[in-house]
Amino acid sequence: MESVLVFYTLTAAISAYLLWFWLLARNLNGPKTWPLVGSLPYLFMNRSRIHDWIAKNLHSTGAAATYQTCTIAIPFFARKAGFYTVTCHPKNIEHILRTRFDNYPKGPTWQVAFHDLLGQGIFNSDGETWLIQRKTAALEFTTRTLRQAMARWVNRTIRTRLWVILEKAAKQQTAVDLQDLLLRLTFDNICGLTFGKDPETLSPDLPENLFAIAFDSATEATLQRLLYPGFLWRLKKIFDVGAENRLRKSLQVVENYMTEALEARKEAPSDDLLSRFMKKRDSDGNLFQNSVLKRIALNFVLAGRDTSSVALSWFFWLVMNTPRVEETIICELSTVLQETRGKDTRKWIEEPLTFDEADKLIYLKAAFAETLRLYPSVPEDFKYVVSDDVLPDGTYLPAGSTVTYSIYSMGRMKNIWGEDCLEFKPERWLSDGGDRFESPKDGYKFMAFNGGPRTCLGKDLAYLQMKSVASAVLLRYRLSLVPGHRVEQKMSLTLFMKNGLRVYLSPRELVAPTKASMSA
């Protein structure tokens, strides 16, 4: 009798919740909601194009509004009754990232999911733990020695590895997966810069590297935790099955590798980030413990590897499809290198760019900014709401809920970027005279490098690396997409190309620019 009573009570409670949920959800701005399931069917149908689906919903919400915010209703799955708030309103994003920064931390859901991999590192912490690491890192990222170290690592991987692989492919007329090569290149560079140990994943035979494989596996398994209710992945962790089993095994490999790197740095400190953090002290005045140092290093590897390689992949794809932009980039490169290396074009491709030469490439920087506007490496970001709040556009956010700001959608809003917002147009980042790079006057309409107190510290290093790699490839080769190869987005927290970027390479003939071509 008791079990029957419990059953009917539970059924009544669930029915009441679903009725209340539907009555509330049908009046929300956002995708259509259905009884019982809310917007879940639309989310499922658009799971392979989730970023474009979100952009469409934000674009179509509130015809009279200048910018957009919508709410997606997913019963039982989302925190706070099942409603996700998504926005691409610059004023809302400024409010979240700067004005009320303390009210929008990473939050417990994100931190718990990433704790096994990233611990209390800078990208997975809030409050005082985050602040002390941020201050320490900010001091180091402004030093010229770190920039010089980055230039050395980038130039070495280009000269001794990337060029060797591309030259062989061009001679044999075989295709390469450029995204894979770029992932390997940026991984080697960031590992070298972070803890002075080169995994050598970008080598002519493209070897498998246990640390790189384990790091990828651990990252992917960690991301899966965000896709399911917390109790589910915790249950898998207890029984050590599925993704949690892979995560545990991968973390063992990562831990061993980081222990070796840390011991090596203790014996022979260098100019890498790990060596620098080993000299710093925490908020209690103590040197960082080994476990903390290893997690700090992993945080920088995670942030510095995927973002730059993904941006480079989309850049090359956009340039291949926009000959006008490619010609302008080559003209700018030729002009700068003629000034620094003379008219002999052979000298232009003997060595990668120096960072002083890279600094002069204004149009190339604009092309990367334009790439990141359309294809941001991190398309969506999430924040936890500590206390009840109201966004500048009037949207109410209850404490304990999650708000998402869609960086991908911002680049596709006519109200933000104009009628030509879908066009790849680097010129929108240049001054009227075309001689200066100019960021938007509204600093919160371009969020590829985040904003507020968490603005990306490695922004300048990222531009340096991307300029060097782009120049190294485009000065030597013309790229063409392999016929039939489909360029699609991979649905993950980072905007990878699902099928990679398979291209053919053909040698480029360089010509010293004339005054007429330079003025044009």
Q: Which residues carry a binding-site annotation for heme?
A: 456
CA distance 67 to 285: 46
CA distance 104 to 108: 11
CA distance 215 to 225: 16
Q: What is the CA radius of gyration of the chain?
A: 24
| Phi and psi at residue 506, to the nearest 5° | -130, 140
Q: Which residues pair with 478 in a beta bridge?
A: 506
Annotated binding site: 456
Q: How many CB atoms lie within 10 A of CB 410?
A: 28
CA 118 remoteness from chain centre? 16
Looking at residue 350, the DSSP 8-state letter turns out to be T
Q: Which residues pair with 506 in a beta bridge?
A: 478
Cα dihedral: 9, 13, 14, 15 (round 10): 100
CA distance 496 to 136: 31
Q: Helix or strand or coil: residue 76?
A: coil
Q: Is 470 exposed, middle or buried (0-12, 13-18, 19+ CB in 10 A)?
A: buried
Tell me the CB-side half-sphere exposure of residue 174, using CA atoms within 13 A. Answer: 8
H helices present in 124-209, as ranges: 127-141, 144-157, 163-172, 178-195
Token look-up 């949690």 returns: 244
Buried b (16+ CB within 10 A) or exposed e, 199-216: bbbbbeeeeebebbebbb
Sign of the torsion formed by the C-alpha atoms of 28, 29, 35 and 38:
negative
Q: In what order do the strands lie in the sheet with 83-87?
A: 69-73, 83-87, 402-406, 380-384
